[in-house]
Structure 1
Amino acid sequence: MVWPRRSFWRSAKYFTKRALRLTATPHAIAAGIAAGAFASFTPFLGFHFVIAAALAWCIGGNLVASAIGTAVGNPLTFPFIWGATLETGKLILTGAHAPPAATVHLGRLLRHLEFSQLWDPFIKPMTVGCVPLGLFFGLVFYFLTRWATLAFREQRRKRLAERARRRALAQSVGPRPVAG
């Protein structure tokens, strides 16, 4: 279920082309992708689409692009994202000289859904840590997507202009007589 049928590279190319072909302004597409990328850094699994859509709506982004942008968070990247947000959050909340934390048995906490005990060691630092990392990667994805959208549209415009030029040239020559 997690592994794509062909390859991850093919899936990434599909999502990229899908985003570039959206009929919206380059800013709206880039803002939507950035909102989705930012939402992928939040620890609130199951709400990434909602967070991305709300954020995209606030900054004038495309809602479909925000859904596509949430693909930044996937089974391959989540372990790195979660580790980075947790450590960044701990660094922000406690500083560089943090006291050693008590051992927490995550499996037991998740099995019994003790949210209050999950908040301090995991969710709070991840929520704090997701903001700077999400903003950084959101900005990276914004500028990459805006540049790619503009380049894609310019390339498409040139291709369509060349096709129209060839069609006009063929029509100006006129139909060729049929030899009989």
Structure 2
Amino acid sequence: MVFRRRDRRPMLRATADFLYPRGGWTRAFHYIKHRVRRLPDSPERIARGIWAGVFTTFTPFYTMHFLVAFLIARLMQANILAALMATFFGNPLTYVPIGFVSLKTGHFILGTKFEEHHARSFGGKFLDAGDDLKNNFIAMFTDKTADWHGLSVFYHEIFLPYLVGGILPGMITATIFYYLSVPLIRAYQKRRKKIIKKKFDAIRKKAETEADETAKAE
């Protein structure tokens, strides 16, 4: 494959790079920012893509953020690549505050509480839901009895509050990024056009000079 790494990274190394890239999250952020600004599209469409990607990180659809960002970007007629890149706003450094704010907001809106002492912790309820899906899938082909308790707890105490509570802070954060992105991208594109025009003018001037010298020599 063209894009496959020649040096396959061990699983532990790949996990470590995801949690903390070799160049650090600051370098990773600047790299993504640089790539987004160089996208060949209007500042508004790119910014709408950023909106879609940032908003997606406030949804509980972990492992599917690329798909969700893609769908939202299509609906908004936004730059899809910008949306996919902007999902990196959700990373191990931001998922904790995003999850905390989304859950707190969701339980407040729904009038419910996160009953950690009655059942399991936040991560534990994710694991319980995963175990239920796995065990119930196996139960379809064996004599085991399906048990949906863990998945039910996860839905009512994690997924639904997260889904409802992430909408408002997600929209606010995404909108802030939108309005910050438009002027920055527009200024960058104007500066880049000037640089490219200057290079072409220099090439044209050099070609004209060489042509004049050739004509005089003849």
Q: Shorter chain as normaliser: what TM range?
A: 0.7 to 0.9
1:126 maps to: 162
Q: TM-score, normalised by structure 1?
A: 0.85
Partner deviation per Cα, 1:73-126 (whole Å, 9 max, x = no partner): 0011000100010111122222xxx77957231365444321101122222211
Partner SS state of residue 97, structure 2: helix
Q: How many residues were matched structurally?
A: 174
Amino acid at match of 1:82: G
Q: Work out which of the residue numbers 65, 68, 82 in structure 2 matches 1:51.
A: 68
Amino acid at match of 1:44: F
Partner SS state of residue 41, structure 1: coil
Between 24-33 and 54-63, the greater mean CA deviation after superposition: 24-33
Map 1:1-180; keep pairs closer than 5 Å.
1=16, 2-94=19-111, 101=115, 103=117, 104-106=119-121, 109-113=125-129, 114-174=150-210
Q: Distance in 1 between matches of 2:200 and 2:40?
A: 21
Deviation of 1:41 (Å): 0.6
Q: Distance in 1 between matches of 2:116 and 2:128?
A: 19
Q: CA RMSD in A?
A: 2.3
Q: Distance in 1 between matches of 2:89 and 2:67?
A: 15
Between 148-157 and 103-112, the greater mean CA deviation after superposition: 103-112
Task: Using the aligned pairs only, state the percent identity.
Answer: 28
Partner deviation per Cα, 1:23-79 (whole Å, 9 max, x = no partner): 222222111111010010101101111111000000001111111010010011000
What runs of 5+ residues in structure 1 fail to find an aligned partner?
Answer: none
Q: TM-score, normalised by structure 2?
A: 0.71
Deviation of 1:165 (Å): 3.5
What runs of 5+ residues in structure 2 fail to find an aligned partner?
Answer: 1-15, 130-149
Asked if 1 retains the 8 angstrom alpha-carbon contact of 2:107 and 2:114, the reply is: no
**Which structure has the larger Rg over C-alpha atoms?**
2
Amino acid at match of 2:174: G
Amino acid at match of 1:70: T
The 4+ residue runs of structure 1 with deviation greater than 6 A are none
